[in-house]
Amino acid sequence: MFATFQPTWQIESIYDLKASQLKKRNIKAVLTDLDNTLIAWNNPDGTPMLREWLQEMKKANILVIVVSNNNHARVKKALAKLDLPFISRALKPFSRGLRLALKRYNLTKADVVMVGDQLLTDVAAANHFKIRSILVKPIVESDAWNTKINRFFEGIIKNYLIKNNHFETRWGHKLNDR
Ligand SMILES: [Mg+2]
Distance of CA 90 from the midpoint of ligand 1 (Å): 12
* pLDDT of amino acid 40: 83
Q: Fold for 2-163, please state it.
A: Rossmann fold (3.40.50)
Distance between CA atoms of 175 and 155, rounded to whole angstroms? 23
Average pLDDT over residues 72-84: 91
Mean pLDDT of 4-30: 96
* 2 DSSP 8-state letter: G
d(CA 146, CA 128): 22
Residue 59 alpha carbon to ligand 1 centre in Å = 26
Q: 33 alpha carbon to ligand 1 midpoint, in Å?
A: 6
**Domain limits, the chain:** 2-163
Q: How many angstroms does the Cα of residue 117 sit away from the middle of ligand 1?
A: 5
Instruction: Output the 3-class SS for 36-80.
Output: CCCEECCECCCCHHHHHHHHHHHHCCCEEEEECCCCHHHHHHHHC
pLDDT computed for residue 45 by the predictor = 66
Mean pLDDT of 12-16: 95
Task: Give per-residue pLDDT as tens, 119-170.
Answer: 999 999 999 999 999 999 998 876 677 778 888 899 999 999 999 988 988 9
Whether residue 27 has pLDDT greater than 80: yes
Cβ neighbours around 106 below 10 Å, total? 8
41-59 per-position pLDDT tens digit = 666 666 788 999 999 999 9
Rounded-to-integer distance, Cα 89 and Cα 95, Å: 11
Distance 119 CA to ligand 1 centre (A): 10
What is the distance in A from the centroid of ligand 1 to the CA of 4?
A: 17
Q: How far is the CA of 164 from the centre of ligand 1 (A)?
A: 25
Quote the ligand 1 centre to 57 CA distance (angstroms).
20
The average pLDDT across 74-89 equals 92
Bridge partners, 87 (sequence order) = 67
61 C-alpha to center of ligand 1: Å?
Answer: 25
What does the mean pLDDT of the chain come to?
92
Q: How far apart are CA 161 and CA 21, in angstroms?
A: 25
